[in-house]
Amino acid sequence: MDPITGALLAGAAQFAATETAKAVIKDAYEGLKAKVKQWFVERKRPDGEMALTMIEQKPDTWKGPLAEALKESGAADNKELLQAAQALMTILEEAKQQGTYHAVQTGSGAIAQGQGAVAAGARGIAVGGNVQGGINMPGSKEGEDEHKP
């Protein structure tokens, strides 16, 4: 699959997968889509315009016609289109690497999510950094957990 079709499919999937796509992803996708549409208009390729319009609604049906229209029109040789496609793919990859966190917390306690996050539950203490030596907590004997029998 050529890089422009791949980027358009990935952008369409991301755009369709979330109601409120991140602004950066949406802007990059819409920018690439506008450049490709202009490319087809300038080359009088209504088949390409149709495939581009329909790719969001039925990607499996329209990816072939879109790829064909891009290939036949020489889009893969256009540096501006390739750069826009690569920029979108880079943004999507970075977003994917950031990951998604989902947690449910019940009772007394805390949840910390993400790199470097710290949480302390009920009557707890969160200690960060480089800690040396012992930690004495009120209500417990040194080195013992106050909840143990």
C-alpha angle 106/111/113, rounded to 5°?
A: 140
CA–CA distance, 41 with 1 (Å, rounded to integer): 22
Confidence of residue 20 (pLDDT cuts 50, 70, 90): very low
Helices (H) and strands (E) in the chain, counts: 5, 0
pLDDT tens digits, one per residue of 71-121: 999 999 999 999 999 999 988 887 776 655 556 665 566 666 655 666 666
CA–CA distance, 117 with 98 (Å, rounded to integer): 14
- Axis-axis angle for helices 59-73, 46-54 (nearest 10): 150
Percent of the chain scoring above 70 in pLDDT: 58
Q: In whole angstroms, what separates CA 25 from the centre of its chain?
A: 8
* Cβ pair 117, 36 in contact under 8 A: no
Confidence of residue 26 (pLDDT cuts 50, 70, 90): confident
For the whole model, what pTM was predicted? 0.57
Task: Please give the pLDDT value at position 127.
Answer: 61
CA–CA distance, 23 with 82 (Å, rounded to integer): 21
